[in-house]
Structure 1
Amino acid sequence: MKIAVIANGAWYLFNFRRALMNELLRAGHDVVAISPPDRYVEALRAEGFEHVALLLAPSGTNPLVELVTLLRLRRTLKQGGYALALTFTPKINLYTGLALHGLGIAHIPNVSGLGRTFVHDSWLTILVKRLYVVAFRSAQWVLFQNEDDRAEFLRLKLVDPKRTGRLPGSGVDLEHFSPRAEQTVRKDRLIILFIGRVIADKGINEFVEAARTVRRLQPRIEFQILGPLDTANPSIISPALFDEWVRSGVVRYLGVSDDVRPAIAEADCVALPSYREGVPRSLLEAAAMAKPCITTDVPGCRDVVDDGRNGWLCAARSAASLADAILKFVRMPEAARHEMGRRGRLKVEREFSERIVLDTYLGLIERFDSGCRGSSASGTSSTQREE
């Protein structure tokens, strides 16, 4: 079966969906990556995947430009001879669902968070919700990464409940992300690490303000940031402001890395004060490496952290609440912090293994493939959905 795997960047596909794509190849499927091009295109090709470039502005809202993007995507899918499209990231989920109408190509979108339109109410929110109804109407299944998002879609009647399912995020490779015997050996300071895009919606303003508060009380605490400045995102942090944060010494910037494990191993705790997530990969990876996590009590984030057991939950958009949670962690005995990390590793092993995600996709695709073969034998449409 020829399968298109589509997202808003080759970076995303390489870092978050490469294991799935390799699993599909091993199962005998023809897998094509479709995304806006970036420097990870060559990395995908080196893994043996064909890549088709898609021109897309991830945060664009110009109606004419977006219509052209939609038509280009439809043409790409129509000409590719695909039987199935697996889609990821909000805009790609929406646009692919719209583009596929009438093409006879099956669709399995993965809702990994609801995007900015569900965080910030506007006229665009109303429009997008209506478009979701149309886009997901013909989807074979709609997979959600947390129950809050699934419940919201069902409450708004955006999807058919019979065709929804739940995944544990994108899963985490438990062998690749595992505790290191040598991690966190220093005694002179504690490190609180933020991993993610440096944008307001990830709670970076609250992280920096909490850092100021905590460092006034506990100067030995070091706050680190690992991740890119996303200058194309509407909730951008200006480079000038970010430079001021770093120059003032309130945070230390580690830059960008394809391998976050050394930074996690060095840290004592990973903090992500995001406003809303699917299931945050950074927290899964940190917990898999037996690191306690501090995050907000919002959809997606609270799925990873059991308050007081493998980390702490704080209020969203509140630097004071985040600072309180960090101070709770800092004041814990070292043995208690290690026990908190151990519980996090066990939770990830039980609930968030990458194997769960891969087996779910393989099972759904096998059901769809079997349905296609049965439909072909009986002369019915190959895109008929199972009930």
Structure 2
Amino acid sequence: MGMGKILQICGVDETADKLLRPLVMRLKQEGHEVHIACADTGRVDRLRAEGFEVFTIPMKRSLAPISSGKSLWKLFRLMRREKYDIVHVHTPVAAALGRVAAKMAGIKHIVYTAHGFYFHDDMGRVPYYFWFTIEKWLARHTTDYILLQSKEDYELCLRERFLPEEETFHLSNGVDIEGTFRPSKKVRDTMRDSLHLQEEERVICFIGRLVKEKGILELLEAFKQVKQVRKNVKLLVIGSLSQSERDQDTYRMLQNHLRDPDVLALGYRNDIHQLLEAADIFVLPSYREGLPRSIIEAMAMEKAVVATDIRGCREEVIDGKTGYLVPKGDSNVLRDRLLRLVDDAALRSSFGKEGRRFAEQYFNERKVLDLQVELFRKTLEGEAHD
């Protein structure tokens, strides 16, 4: 294989740490030199200590003219200095700035992984068309290959001719099915003991940023109603509550809800597979997703899943077989589905085992990494169109 110098760009170091780590490690194992460019939110020093080459480039979540211009210039200077063979971009704003900078810097090969387009069906017609047009323009003028995690996004790209079919790939998403994410009763017992959970208590688990668009308020409302009729329930909330979020009303409401003694707010954690093992039900009531990794992790750990019927989630959850799909923003239907699963151990077990089989077949991280490594190999050897 031809060895190359590759730059991975994402918005923040959390994405690099949690989502890009397996890919970066695999590429390094293959002999490539791999760098990361992202904003530092407190993890860069640790990543560097582990041997990752990380350049800090401040990047905001929205395209603000002044800050985006500064980020673009820093990315451009980095690329001109380091002379990368491939620039691989992730997350909406970082992907847009990274591709434009790469084009300006004369990078030969620009690859974009779309973890979930910014535009979605619940947007108004004008903002949807605006963001759709930007994505399509960036694809046609600044992108050599586009990798789509969501099959719906992949089909949209083909239908709307973002790029030719041979330059468009359905990547999917995956976790370490064969190693980290394997069910273990011993781990379950140990983790439940550490969380002071009783055997008879049914545990519902949520993983994600604690912001309105993740459906956390509907979940907390549904849980409150479940608690009124079932006393043996707990809610694990795994994720950070950031005071810097734009919606301060949501922040204050969350603070009040999280004071409930039956809600265990654990913050950011690295032991996700162990925490999922301690749970009985996983729930993700998001408004918008790409192809959420957390659902795959939960299915790999044989958990029944309740998620919203939106792009991404409905590719992962088979309604009535591996879990339930519920309408977005409907805490009453969410409550009813959670109650059903709290009460029915056999149903939870059936959903969990089917979910594990489904994850093994379609969401194996090794296969996702293989596709990317092979694309880079062909690209570097000049055989991508053969």
TM-score, structure 2 as length reference:
0.89
What stretches of structure 2 of length at least 5 have no aligned partner? 193-197
Contact map agreement 1:272 1:295 (CA 8 A) in 2: yes
**Residue of structure 1 in register with 2:385 after alignment:** 386
Provide the aligned length of Structure 1 versus Structure 2: 373
**Residue of structure 2 in register with 1:298 after alignment:** 310
Letter of the 1:9 partner, please give it: V
Letter of the 2:354 partner, please give it: R
| CA RMSD between the two structures | 2.3
**Residue of structure 1 in register with 2:32 after alignment:** 29
Letter of the 1:360 partner, please give it: L
The yes-or-no answer on 1:354 pairing with 2:358 is no
**Residue of structure 1 in register with 2:195 after alignment:** none
Pairing of 1:308-319 with structure 2 (within 5 A): 308-319=320-331
| Partner SS for 2:291 | coil
- The C-alpha deviation readout for 1:71-96, integer Å capped at 9, x for no partner, is 22222222221010111111122222
The offset of 1:131, in angstroms, is: 2.4
Letter of the 1:342 partner, please give it: K
The yes-or-no answer on 1:178 pairing with 2:190 is no
Q: Percent identity, aligned pairs only?
A: 27
The yes-or-no answer on 1:274 pairing with 2:286 is yes
Letter of the 1:219 partner, please give it: K
Q: 1:114 to 1:275 in 2, by over 3 A?
A: same
Letter of the 2:313 partner, please give it: C
Contact map agreement 1:97 1:136 (CA 8 A) in 2: no
Q: 1:177 to 1:171 in 2, by over 3 A?
A: closer
Contact map agreement 2:114 2:149 (CA 8 A) in 1: yes
CA distance in 1, matches of 2:248, 2:146: 30
CA distance in 2, matches of 1:180, 1:188: 18
The offset of 1:322, in angstroms, is: 1.2
Q: 1:21 to 1:43 in 2, by over 3 A?
A: same
- The C-alpha deviation readout for 1:68-122, integer Å capped at 9, x for no partner, is 3222222222222101011111112222222222413311111111237775448
CA distance in 1, matches of 2:309, 2:353: 21
The yes-or-no answer on 1:283 pairing with 2:285 is no
- The C-alpha deviation readout for 1:238-265, integer Å capped at 9, x for no partner, is 4322221022446331222122123211
**Residue of structure 2 in register with 1:68 after alignment:** 70
CA distance in 2, matches of 1:121, 1:172: 38
TM-score, structure 1 as length reference:
0.89
CA distance in 2, matches of 1:311, 1:233: 31
The yes-or-no answer on 1:339 pairing with 2:339 is no
**Residue of structure 2 in register with 1:130 after alignment:** 133
Contact map agreement 2:118 2:131 (CA 8 A) in 1: no
Letter of the 1:81 partner, please give it: K
Runs of at least 4 residues of structure 1 off by over 6 A? none
The offset of 1:271, in angstroms, is: 0.2
Pairing of 1:1-387 with structure 2 (within 5 A): 1-58=4-61, 60-102=62-104, 103-115=106-118, 120-121=123-124, 125-137=128-140, 138-182=142-186, 183=188, 186-234=198-246, 238-249=250-261, 251-332=263-344, 334-371=345-382, 386=385
| Partner SS for 2:199 | coil
CA distance in 1, matches of 2:158, 2:211: 29
CA distance in 2, matches of 1:317, 1:241: 16
The offset of 1:329, in angstroms, is: 1.3
Letter of the 1:178 partner, please give it: R
The offset of 1:164, in angstroms, is: 1.1
CA distance in 2, matches of 1:268, 1:131: 42
Q: 1:93 to 1:160 in 2, by over 3 A?
A: farther
CA distance in 1, matches of 2:121, 2:242: 19
Contact map agreement 2:13 2:44 (CA 8 A) in 1: yes
- The C-alpha deviation readout for 1:288-307, integer Å capped at 9, x for no partner, is 11111111111111122111
| Partner SS for 1:270 | strand
| Partner SS for 1:100 | helix
